[in-house]
């Protein structure tokens, strides 16, 4: 076959330039451990001890988080309205006030975080997550950019934009809680509940709510039109959508200690409609430390891994004691035998 001329490039003559560097000859010095039984057992013992220590610490910390959880969505519907809940919850004139008493088992040190926890609320639904306009939230210049927000985009035959637009903002959680102990009001600090980066960069300090919840069906909470979005922390918290259908969101912080065996009375405004899709609502009071919460998973995971390492170490030791095997002489390993074939 005829060779194509253009392919007949002269071969690059590299052979003369060959560099005898350690890198090119793959002779860089490296750690070549010989894992003798002694080493392996020691490593497993060290791993086991370290993991068990960390695990105990994490476990201990998570046990010391105090948490009160109270489900209130069922009890807070008056008995006479139990079989017409939808009508009751949608009727803005019906009385939604509901009182609950929580008993503090162990002393709770401040700050105590107040969360609401929803179940079966899919903030991760595709159409829901996308139904927002980040540009509009950031600056007044983009007030009219509501295309992504449909169906909650404009009012008045498309002439006036809704700010903030979209399903997420529209469905803003609107239950409220008031706390008291022995009929003394316990203040809930509702500042600093949202991420600082959200307040500073994602929600504009010059963007004010407009035409919000003003027509059609009311989806949730209303917003004060004289406060810019960057200060509407409830909204900011709500709009950082949750990844799972059961989630907690921060409502505020209680900045006093609650003594053991005290009763804390909560007056709830049970406004938010989770009844039509079979949701659940809970109020959570929780202290916190570095272990984040009462979740014992982290501690247990460390304990399991540590325990496993120790078991392996022990079984290796037993095998080694009962049936020792002579080790080969490492001097016969190729890299020890021919230290550097390429040197010089
Ligand atoms: C609260 O939200 C529900 C929808 O979940 C709505 O029907 C109700 O009117 C709202 N109430 C207030 C007081 O904002």
Query: pLDDT per residue over 193-213, tens digit each?
Result: 999 999 999 999 999 998 898
Q: Model confidence over 32-66: pLDDT tens digits? A: 788 888 999 999 999 999 999 999 998 888 888 88
Coil, strand or helix at 5 = helix
Q: Examine the pLDDT at 149 and tell me if it is beyond 80.
A: yes
Pocket test for ligand 1, best of 219, 276, 279 (most atoms within 8 A of CB): 219
- d(Cα 30, Cα 299) in Å, to the nearest integer? 36
Q: Tell me, what DSSP letter sits at residue 197?
A: H
Predicted pLDDT of residue 175: 94
pLDDT band at 158 (very low <50, low <70, confident <90, very high): confident
* Ligand 1 proximity of 222 Cβ (cutoff 6 Å): yes
Residue 41 domain-assigned?
yes
- Which ligand 1 atom lies nearest to the CA of residue 273? 5
Residue 210 domain-assigned?
yes
Quick one: 276 and 297 in the same domain? no
Quick one: 247 and 168 in the same domain? yes
Rounded to the nearest 5°, which phi and psi values hold at 55?
Answer: -60, -45
* Ligand 1 proximity of 174 Cβ (cutoff 6 Å): yes
Predicted pLDDT of residue 256: 92
* Ligand 1 proximity of 123 Cβ (cutoff 6 Å): no
- Which ligand 1 atom lies nearest to the CA of residue 271? 1
Q: Examine the pLDDT at 180 and tell me if it is beyond 90.
A: yes
Q: Examine the pLDDT at 186 and tell me if it is beyond 60.
A: yes
* Ligand 1 proximity of 218 Cβ (cutoff 6 Å): yes
Which segment of 167-171, 251-255, 295-299 scores lowest on mean pLDDT? 295-299
Quick one: 71 and 59 in the same domain? no
Quick one: 78 and 44 in the same domain? no
Mean pLDDT score of the chain: 86
Q: Average the pLDDT over 64-87 and give the result.
A: 87
Pocket test for ligand 1, best of 90, 168, 174, 223 (most atoms within 8 A of CB): 174
Residue 60 domain-assigned?
yes
Q: Average the pLDDT over 280-301 and give the result.
A: 83
Range of the domain at 273: 67-288
Rounded to the nearest 5°, which phi and psi values hold at 152?
Answer: -105, 75
Q: Examine the pLDDT at 306 and tell me if it is beyond 90.
A: yes
Predicted pLDDT of residue 9: 52
Measuring from atom 2 of ligand 1, which residue has the nearest CA?
220
Q: Model confidence over 215-248: pLDDT tens digits? A: 778 888 999 999 999 999 999 999 999 999 999 9
Residue 338 domain-assigned?
no
pLDDT band at 10 (very low <50, low <70, confident <90, very high): low
- d(Cα 313, Cα 38) in Å, to the nearest integer? 10
* Number of domains composing the chain: 2
Quick one: 135 and 252 in the same domain? yes
* Ligand 1 proximity of 273 Cβ (cutoff 6 Å): yes
| 151 upstream amide cis, omega within 30 of 0 | yes
Q: Examine the pLDDT at 337 and tell me if it is beyond 80.
A: no
CA-derived radius of gyration, the chain: 32
Beta bridge partners of 113: 253, 286
Q: Model confidence over 107-142: pLDDT tens digits? A: 998 889 999 999 999 999 999 999 999 999 998 888
**Is the separation of the CB atoms in 338 and 83 below 8 Å?**
no
pLDDT band at 307 (very low <50, low <70, confident <90, very high): very high
Predicted pLDDT of residue 93: 86
Q: What percent of the chain has pLDDT over 90?
A: 52
Coil, strand or helix at 109 = coil
Quick one: 154 and 264 in the same domain? yes
Sign of the alpha-carbon torsion through 42, 48, 53, 54: positive
Greater model confidence, 185 or 92: 185
Quick one: 169 and 210 in the same domain? yes
Quick one: 120 and 211 in the same domain? yes
Sign of the alpha-carbon torsion through 162, 166, 169, 174: positive
Find the 51 Cα to ligand 1 centroid distance in Å. 49
Find the 91 Cα to ligand 1 centroid distance in Å. 9
Q: Examine the pLDDT at 277 and tell me if it is beyond 70.
A: yes
- d(Cα 302, Cα 21) in Å, to the nearest integer? 45
Quick one: 171 and 212 in the same domain? yes
- Give the residue from 26, 22, 28, 31 showing the smallest Cα distance to 343: 22
Measuring from atom 6 of ligand 1, which residue has the nearest CA?
220
Find the 171 Cα to ligand 1 centroid distance in Å. 9
Q: Examine the pLDDT at 295 and tell me if it is beyond 80.
A: no
pLDDT band at 31 (very low <50, low <70, confident <90, very high): confident
Find the 39 Cα to ligand 1 centroid distance in Å. 66
**Is the separation of the CB atoms in 235 and 229 below 8 Å?**
yes
Q: What Cα–Cα distance (Å) separates residue 228 from each residue in 199, 214, 238, 271?
A: 10, 18, 16, 24
Helical pair 297-322 and 37-63, crossing angle rounded to 10 deg: 160
Quick one: 180 and 42 in the same domain? no
**Is the separation of the CB atoms in 120 and 280 below 8 Å?**
yes
Torsion on CA atoms 251, 257, 261, 265, rounded to nearest 10: -40
Domain-ending residue, one of 259, 288, 317: 288
**Is the separation of the CB atoms in 211 and 164 below 8 Å?**
no
Hey, which of 4-13, 45-54, 327-336 has the most confident mean pLDDT? Answer: 45-54
* Ligand 1 proximity of 220 Cβ (cutoff 6 Å): yes
Find the 170 Cα to ligand 1 centroid distance in Å. 10
């Amino acid at each position: 076959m005829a060779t194509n001329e253009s392919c007949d490039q002269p071969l690059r003559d590299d052979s003369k330039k060959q560099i005898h560097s350690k890198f090119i000859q793959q002779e860089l010095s490296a750690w070549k451990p010989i894992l003798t039984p002694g080493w392996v057992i020691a490593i497993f013992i060290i791993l086991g001890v370290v993991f068990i220590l960390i695990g105990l610490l994490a476990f201990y910390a998570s046990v010391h988080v105090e948490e009160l959880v109270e489900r209130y969505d069922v009890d807070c519907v008056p008995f006479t309205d139990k079989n017409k809940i939808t009508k009751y919850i949608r009727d803005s004139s019906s009385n939604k006030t509901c009182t609950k008493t929580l008993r503090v088992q162990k002393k709770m040190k401040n700050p105590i975080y107040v969360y609401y926890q929803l179940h079966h609320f899919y903030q991760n639904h595709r159409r829901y997550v996308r139904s927002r306009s980040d540009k509009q939230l950031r600056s007044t210049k983009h007030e009219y950019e509501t295309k992504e927000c449909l169906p909650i985009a404009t009012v008045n035959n498309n002439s006036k934009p809704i700010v903030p637009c979209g399903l997420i903002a529209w469905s803003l959680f609107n239950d409220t809680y008031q706390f008291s102990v022995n009929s003394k009001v316990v203040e809930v600090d509702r500042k600093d509940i949202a991420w600082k980066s959200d307040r500073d960069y994602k929600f504009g300090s010059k963007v004010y709510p407009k035409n919000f919840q003003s027509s059609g069906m009311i989806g949730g909470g209303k917003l004060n039109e004289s406060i810019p979005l960057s200060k509407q922390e409830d909204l900011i918290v709500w709009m950082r959508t949750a990844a799972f259908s059961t989630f907690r969101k921060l409502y505020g912080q209680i900045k006093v200690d609650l003594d053991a065996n005290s009763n804390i009375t909560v007056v709830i405004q049970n406004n938010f409609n989770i009844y039509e899709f079979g949701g659940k609502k809970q109020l959570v009071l929780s202290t916190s430390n570095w272990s984040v919460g009462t979740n014992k998973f982290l501690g247990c995971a460390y304990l399991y891994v540590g325990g496993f390492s120790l078991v392996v170490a022990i079984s290796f030791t037993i095998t080694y004691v009962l049936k020792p095997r002579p080790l080969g002489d490492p001097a016969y390993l190729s890299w020890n035998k021919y230290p550097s074939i390429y040197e010089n």
